[in-house]
Amino acid sequence: MTLTVSGLRVVRAGRTILHSTSLSMSPGDRMGLVGSSGSGKSTVGHALIDDLRGQGHSVSHVPQSPDEALDPLRSMAFHWREAERALGGVDVDRAALFSALGIDGGDMGKRPWGWSRGMQQRFVIAMALIGTPDLIVLDEPTSALDPVVAAASMDLLERHLQGRDTAMMLITHDLGLAARRVSQLMVMAEGRVVERGATEDILARPQSVAARALTAHKSWAMVPC
Ligand SMILES: Nc1ncnc2c1ncn2[C@@H]1O[C@H](COP(=O)(O)OP(=O)(O)OP(=O)(O)O)[C@@H](O)[C@H]1O
């Protein structure tokens, strides 16, 4: 099923932080949303999730910080049960998923602060992989992880999504991550999508000022995950 939103717009404190934005994703699409800090990427992510859920689509979300997803007063077991209930998933092997993400040693009876930040983030990634949502939105999913764990987590995500209809939107300021993981890119600047197209085309021939600025930093090509 194609996912379509049109005219997404967000105003906060009297300021338009997202100008009218439309997008469409097909099942299995791998879309990246890139841009400098403060360009509006997370705002698009939240607006997109709200709109699609309002349309009745199932959408999983890995927010930028595990604090956004985990209640400090609730145990990890509680969070897992709630995610299972919300996503209605029966096709997840939790033990295998935790093992692959390297969090099988975590105590499910503990509250989030009983786990390290990196473990919390991987737990949130695992929660997002319950069931088969129409879309998974990953907002800087690896920013709390060291490069080796980050790459392994992204590999696991990709393996998990392979052959499924779940579309993926990867929000990141890390062009290297996007270059390796998505086939289409949207570039944001000052609350607007200023460029969109195939990842390889934008990387090779950036048109907008924002895309040129991002690609000018060649260090992005060295990032391992
Ligand atoms: N609740 C809010 N009230 C006022 N301004 C906000 C609010 N949320 C976001 N903004 C502003 O909107 C702009 C876009 O923020 P957003 O978090 O979407 O950017 P981003 O590209 O995801 O940034 P980063 O990469 O640093 O996470 C920023 O200028 C931010 O300060």
Q: What is the CATH number of the domain that holds 46?
A: 3.40.50.300
219 in a structural domain: no
Instruction: Give the least confident one: 3-12, 35-44, 86-95, 129-138.
Output: 86-95
Dist. CA 47–CA 117, nearest whole Å: 26
The per-residue pLDDT for range 165-183, each reduced to its tens digit, is 999 999 998 888 898 899 9
Which atom of ligand 1 approaches the CA of 64 most closely?
27
Check residue 224 and give its pLDDT.
Answer: 56
47 in a structural domain: yes
Q: What residues are paired with 25 via a beta bridge?
A: 3
User: Would the pLDDT of 223 be above 70?
Assistant: no
User: Would the pLDDT of 220 be above 70?
Assistant: no
23 in a structural domain: yes
Distance between Cα 96 and ligand 1 center (Å): 36
Task: Report the domain count for the chain.
Answer: 1
Distance between Cα 43 and ligand 1 center (Å): 6
- Closest CA to ligand 1's atom 12: 17
Check residue 145 and give its pLDDT.
Answer: 82
pTM value surpassing 0.95: no
Pairing of β 184-189 and β 192-198 = antiparallel
Domain residue limits at 172: 3-190+202-211
> Binning pLDDT at 50, 70 and 90, where does residue 91 land?
low
The per-residue pLDDT for range 106-165, each reduced to its tens digit, is 999 999 999 998 899 999 999 998 888 999 999 998 887 888 888 888 888 888 888 889
106 in a structural domain: yes
Dist. CA 149–CA 98, nearest whole Å: 13
- For the chain, what percent of residues have pLDDT higher than 90? 66
Task: Pick 158 or 186 by higher pLDDT.
Answer: 186
Q: Is 46 in the pocket of ligand 1 (CB under 6 A)?
A: no
Dist. CA 53–CA 26, nearest whole Å: 16
Q: What is the DSSP letter of 215?
A: H
Q: Is 21 in the pocket of ligand 1 (CB under 6 A)?
A: no
10 in a structural domain: yes
Distance between Cα 42 and ligand 1 center (Å): 7
Question: Strand runs (DSSP E) across 96-190, as ranges?
Answer: 135-139, 167-172, 184-189
